[in-house]
Chains A and B, each alone.
Chain A
Amino acid sequence: MTPTHEIPSHPTITFTVNGEACSFIMGDGSHELPPSYTLAQTLRERLGLTGTKISCDHGACGCCTVLMDGKAVLSCMLLTVECEGKEITTIEGLGNPVTGAIDPLQQAFIDNTAFQCGFCTPGIIMSAKALLNENPSPTVEDVKEALAGNFCRCISHYHVLDAVIATVKKGGE
């Protein structure tokens, strides 16, 4: 079955990733971006932002979580072509780009050893970041709910909760 090319939807697509504009020419040519590319694929394969992980690739594990216009979304379940005009933030975009300082949430993950293998950590941090953006003083229950879709097989959950709550407490000081 040959794909139909009669109605190109966006010959180019533009969105921002970590504050920088990205444009792609859509298409199946070798230097174009196929419309079937997910945002996760584009971030990892075209932009080299491999901090965003693909684990289940089916929207069931949260490892590919990024922020889209400030909200946590699953980049493996979004078509890049449908991200026109969106602001995307990945794990690489946290922290202060001027000073290079990491985000207090990332620091809290270090301080609490809130990871083991670390594969799911970027997704977990991004989900927690989205929560804190929306609600700077969540309860432990709020954090559990916000992270309900984030897989962690090593069971670092308890330390993650400590880290997020520590960030909340620090922010409140």
Chain B
Amino acid sequence: MKPFAHTSAGSVEEAVQLLAKYEGKAKLNAGGTDLLGVLKDRVLPDYPEAIINIKTIPGLNTIEECEEGISIGALTTLVDIITSPLIEKYCPLLKEAAVTVAFPQIRNIATIGGNLCQDTRCWYYRYPDKIGGMIDCFRKGGKRCPAVSGENQYHALMGAKQCFAVCPSDTAIALTALGATFTAVGAESIRTLPVNEFYTPLGNVLTPGEMITAIYIPKPSPVAGQKFLKFTLRKPIDFAIVSVASIITLDQGICTGARIVLGAVAHTPVRVLKAEEFLKGKELSEEIVAEAAEFALAKAKPLSKNAYKLEIAKTLVKRAVRGDSS
């Protein structure tokens, strides 16, 4: 890897001060499982001057219960989320999502904060500089997105205008269904960001001087059924082709509450309110569920090679709402 300066932060305060000092030319490193790949491939035109290790910040790796919710430190590893009794009890959906991420060695080191802030996997964006140079694209400040007329089998189905990359985070999909919020700390600010407002077409709303320190999840209704389904070519390693998170509340067979979120179809997790509304007050027959799936994907506009994702997304919505195991 090309050299960089390196420093370890002992506190959040120190980390954000360092970020401020480097004026956007430093990157935070937690698990490193995403960042190091970006650096090794020289994916971006700008190479960071410094890497700030935040694993050394104490107290950011705990999962705690408070009266109305669960608070997760941003440095909590995915394996700690998977094995947490609190997560299992209140938000099994998040566990289901976390366990689909990569494979054990990655989950042992990757953090929830890192999973939420990881860069997109778009293969144009990620193309290694070594093989003829990086590929210019809209996300890197270029004029166009080469995926639109290229190999777009893994790209966005909806909501994209200039960059068709999708949000790769599995936990973000689960957290959107759970209505989580993030705490973002900057040198002179602390913000609470709802997850559904976090992702932007080219990344996220964090300023270069901010970091996520915690994730807060309001306790969901204990009677609601939670589900996370992820479609990939292979069970381990792969990023989602499509994923769906759902929280369905039934009262005597009638749907009284529904939250359905689609993953890997857009730059952000997509909550499909129309489908949710449609389900409420209804008995979840095959026909109703199928109709809800149609509503969920009504806004999809497939590219040349990703229409199959639309079909899979509909199927996953149906299966998640029904509570199927795969």
Contacts and interface: CB of A to CB of B under 8 A. Distances in A.
Interface of A: 1, 3-10, 26, 28, 34-38, 57-60, 62, 65, 71-74, 76-79, 81-82, 84, 127, 130, 145-146, 148-149
B106 A149 contact: yes
Interface in B87-129: 102-106, 108-109
Nearest to B47: A1
B312 interface: no
Given A1-B47, A82-B29, A34 B108 contact: no
B123 to A, nearest CB: 13
B109 A78 contact: yes
Interface stretch (B31-39, B223-231, B244-252, B276-284): B31-39
A58 B108 contact: no
Contacts of B18: 7
B37 A82 contact: no
A170 B109 CA distance: 31
A149 B102 contact: yes
Contacts, number: 108
- The size bracket of the interface on B is 35 or more
Interface of B: 1-8, 18, 22, 29, 31-33, 36-37, 39-41, 47, 49-51, 53, 55, 79, 102-106, 108-109, 235-237
Top-6 shortest CB links A-B = A149-B103, A35-B6, A148-B236, A9-B7, A36-B1, A148-B103
Contacts of A72: 104-105, 108
B6 A79 contact: yes
Contact of B1 (A28, A38, A148): A38
A127 B32 contact: no
Nearest to B102: A149
A152 to B, nearest CB: 13
B225 to A, nearest CB: 25
A36 B4 contact: yes
